[in-house]
Chains A and B, each alone.
Chain A
Amino acid sequence: MTLSWMAWTWPTAIFFITIFALLIGMGVWEYAVPGGSPRVGILRFETTRGDRLFVSLLGSAFICLFWLGLVGPSLWWALALCLGYALCVFRWV
């Protein structure tokens, strides 16, 4: 079976594999440490680690969009910024 109807390319495949790997990783984490580790961070409301992943992914998408719109087409530095942002979210949000 070919996946040409979905027009797959390696970059998009790697992107989705990363997302699914993150979700599976979160599932394993939840199995190991149940309850979602809720806490009140700098946003001053309770977040679980699932919330923190959502905020990280959504924020990263916007960082990449702003980078494309304001800086240029090379997204490697934006990716580094996204990783830093995700670490900050998981540490302080």
Chain B
Amino acid sequence: MEKTWNNKAWFMVLPVLLLVAFSAVIPLMTVVNYSVQDTFGNNEFFWAGTEWFEEVLSSSRFHDALLRTIAFSAIILAIEIPLGILIALTMPRKGWGVPVCLVLMSLPLLIPWNVVGTIWQLFGRTDIGLLGRMLTGLGIDYNYGRNPFDAWATIIVMDVWHWTSLVVLLCYAGLVSIPEAYYQAAKIDGASRWSVFRFIELPKMNRVLQIAILLRFMDSFMIYTEPFVVTGGGPGSATTFLSIDLVKTAVGQFDLGPAAAMSIIYFMIILLLSWVFFTVTTQAGEDRS
């Protein structure tokens, strides 16, 4: 019987496999080893079994950090995805405005995370920052270092400023690939602007939106540098997301065992949510096409 698949092609992925092994699999294996042991340095380890996992799972600090991270990702997605679509819809499709808009949209993406954090940390300061001074001048009691709501608002606005462009560029790529004939057909049928968006533009943007949602979810769920630079996880622990908590445990307290257990749980949550997102969005795309 003739084989329908040529399995020799799998050897072509060997270089990638090796690269992933050294950059991801081997470090992950080390983390698994650490998660079941205790160490006091000097490369000496003592068997702890599942103790660290039990400790992390019953820790309110971990639960709170997880809830904060989920809330942050949900808020980010709820703002950035509709806003990104809206901006992409208003961008010009031809003429000199196209390169101008594209360059303007790309600029925030070119700035490194820690620089974005520093910009917003200074921008929001009530003594020298433009935003902080302005809000205080308007009579608003704004202080991201003291008020948890202000800290959250600052971090969310910062993330929206930094990353909405990515959603815009992806949506714009989806929009410009729609043939003009679709719009002409809609015009002949007398379709409203909403119908054009709902039945032409949105389905055509489906694939790029999936990528945008997945990228923004994974990125926001793992966010570390920007909130760490702006608030350091404070005030109190109001903006201590899972990643910040993890670094505090691993590097600040040097509790490698609990940090490793936390990393594995964190990794599993990301893996599960990404798989669910990917499966749901791909299936939805296949059902529609």
* Chain A residues close to B by CB (< 8 Å): 4-9, 11-12, 15-16, 30-31, 34-35, 45, 54, 58, 61-62, 65, 68-69, 73, 75
Do B53 and A65 have beta carbons less than 8 Å apart?
yes
Q: Which residues of A contact B49 (CB under 8 A)?
A: 73
Complex Cα distance, B265 from A68, in Å, reads 12
Query: Is B7 interfacial (CB 8 A cutoff)?
Result: yes
Complex Cα distance, B53 from A5, in Å, reads 22
Do B268 and A31 have beta carbons less than 8 Å apart?
no
* A93 CB to nearest chain B CB (Å): 12
Q: Which residues of A contact B29 (CB under 8 A)?
A: 6, 12, 16
The 5 closest A-B pairs by CB, nearest first: A69-B57, A34-B5, A7-B33, A45-B283, A6-B30
Contacts A4-B43, A30-B7, A45-B283: A11 and B36 contacting too (C-beta < 8 A)? Answer: yes
Q: Which residues of B contact A45 (CB under 8 A)?
A: 279, 283
Q: Which residues of B contact A30 (CB under 8 A)?
A: 7
Q: Which residues 1-37 in B have Cβ within 8 Å of A in the complex?
A: 3-5, 7, 26, 29-30, 32-34, 36-37
The total of Cβ contacts below 8 Å across the A-B interface reads: 62
Q: Which residues of B contact A34 (CB under 8 A)?
A: 3-5, 7
Q: Which residues of A contact B33 (CB under 8 A)?
A: 6-9, 12
Complex Cα distance, B261 from A73, in Å, reads 14
Complex Cα distance, B39 from A38, in Å, reads 46
Bitwise interface map of B from 264 to 283 toward A, beta carbon under 8 Å scored 1, else 0: 01001001100100010001
Complex Cα distance, B195 from A83, in Å, reads 50
Q: Which residues of B contact A73 (CB under 8 A)?
A: 49-51, 54
* B21 CB to nearest chain A CB (Å): 11
Interface residues on B, range: 20 to 34
Query: Is B60 interfacial (CB 8 A cutoff)?
Result: no
Q: Which residue of A lies closest to B26 (CB)?
A: A6
Query: Is B45 interfacial (CB 8 A cutoff)?
Result: yes
* B69 CB to nearest chain A CB (Å): 17
Q: Which residues 225-278 in B have Cβ within 8 Å of A in the complex?
A: 265, 268, 271-272, 275
Query: Is B289 interfacial (CB 8 A cutoff)?
Result: no
Q: Which residues of B contact A68 (CB under 8 A)?
A: 50, 53-54, 57
Complex Cα distance, B34 from A58, in Å, reads 20
Query: Is B58 interfacial (CB 8 A cutoff)?
Result: yes
* B162 CB to nearest chain A CB (Å): 31
Do A5 and B268 have beta carbons less than 8 Å apart?
no
A-B contact pairs, 15 of them (CB 8 A): A6-B33, A7-B33, A7-B37, A7-B43, A12-B33, A12-B36, A15-B32, A34-B3, A34-B5, A58-B268, A58-B271, A65-B57, A68-B57, A69-B54, A69-B58
